[in-house]
Structure 1
């Protein structure tokens, strides 16, 4: 079990300049957008890559999947290190590794070399998940969710930019230029962010990757973390099932849209960036549980709209906005809860993100098969099933004794950090977000 972060470990002995402190949150949001975009960089460029390699898009499509597996591996290996390793050094190193891998990908002459570069870049581009726990720790208790929302807004903006801007720039200048440009942005923003981050004194005890080994026990001992993981897996699974299959519907016999036109649906992802600040304020005011309930209700409304969208285009517009708003509201609420539910926020955040990723990847795989056998109705059925499983399996508390024990453990962790004013605020915020 990794050593808990105490006030002594997390203090900042060298005060940061006032200017650096003021621009820290916007800079983290921007760095998050750029690094998150790297995961989805190859997806809109696949036709260009295939043409360059003398292949077909279907033959190189697996490169985009490699990015997902690389990101998952990076989450498991690197994200828990945020509890024990100097974050400034880790962010700088990972940013440089990502940039080098992207440059290697731009120079690749074949699919295998490109896939290897994408794998390394995606595994190292976990910087956002190192920064979110830091933002949550340093934020005032009454504004914690709003600060987390600012970072998440950057993440979703990066995903949209990768799909929309990446495709447009690649069409104009070639896919290799997109990779090189992403490498430059990643290196510059990564190094600047690392420089501005607060100086932390970390005294690690035990194995370097103890956080990875501790993941199961951390989830088992915190009912609030377990609930956040399962609910977000259900929500992200529903979104992934619908969103990854949408291009098949739009380019199929019903709408006959081009790939470029279908790709513009990614602009609906900007709804997430608009909703994020509002959702953060609602979590701070009403607590995480209430926001998640209404997010699930909105997602449930979007499923029949998506089904109707199989024949009516306007229904798809409304459904796309609704599912993105539901996803980001649920994500902000659940991640805030996950970050305040244990004394090892980086490890808890890793468990949370991996759970959501697993739910999304599994539902996406099932949706592809469902579309082949049952068409668009099968995809919407998978989304509805995932939402049902995510909510029903967590609707009943796992026993008042366990919950009480978890709350007592959280209070104990908070008291161990009472030497710092931020820790005292975290305790109050944790009690509010954990209410369900």
Structure 2
């Protein structure tokens, strides 16, 4: 290692300890420039500007360095001394510079020279990445087995008016307002919302409480503004708000003033007070619609509700087939399994398939011989897995019977009667 390399190594070691030392970094840049390493010198000067954007010395150095050609540097064999601080060719000194003598420095050419070395001085806010993930679902309602009543309600209440703007205009049908999906957990509300976006050919943004609520005062409201602003930019867009009862809980029951302002912000965004919601379709999901603030259920907001119940016979068969499609199975009677899983949610059915697969896996591990998943494994799984929807119906029963104001829960009441739960 020669003297130059040792000097460069020493300077870099010192900068590792004190990377913000602009003077030391410019000294290294000058050493590199004197040795003919123009890109290395420019990189160090750019790093100096990153630490101190107002450093005139770094900018003057870059102007001087850009005025040097590779043939000018010592590495090319030219012995002409490099300009110094007292040299009239050096900008930023009392001596006359090229610019002061009437020549105009070509900043456009200079920027091209340092392209990739120096970043923009200010970030472009418009180019900032979106905060929430956007999907373009290929899923359609026809891809969902069973649930014909729910599909029909979606078609009548939401999809048909959106697909037929001429008829909508003829009958004066407004697109204002959103759709609230409610029912026991694990029954496919998010799946349905994604299928609605696919039917409309719209982008899809799904968020939950963890994406919006924040511990700092005012940040939750800002998150909601950013969420709706992003959805409006990507219109047509289906915005899916999961756990609406947490985001828009009844203000009369809230002990936190912060949560009340979150509900106020959500109401403002849904009303489109500060922006146009044209092309923005809002879907919400909740397991506890009775805890949603009444203001959110008024016309123009979540004014239409659809009950999403545990999958029916055809849907259960389709869900079971879906979760077994890539597993080694033999002689599985889907009709029998679908019949014996009445009241199971979609999540329960997935858990049932996982439990049956575990039985076959454990048996294969113990015997050392791989075997298929059979009905015997499902018999064992059915003794272990029980429907998780029971507690929800127990809680919903009282609401349907004694708090069914305006017939909001007539569908739920009819289902409870059919299932002999009343």
Is TM more than 0.5 here? no
Q: Which has the higher contact order (CA 8 A, sep 6+)?
A: 1
Structure with bigger gyration radius:
2
* More helix per residue: 1
Scaled by the length of structure 1, what TM-score is found?
Answer: 0.24
Scaled by the length of structure 2, what TM-score is found?
Answer: 0.24
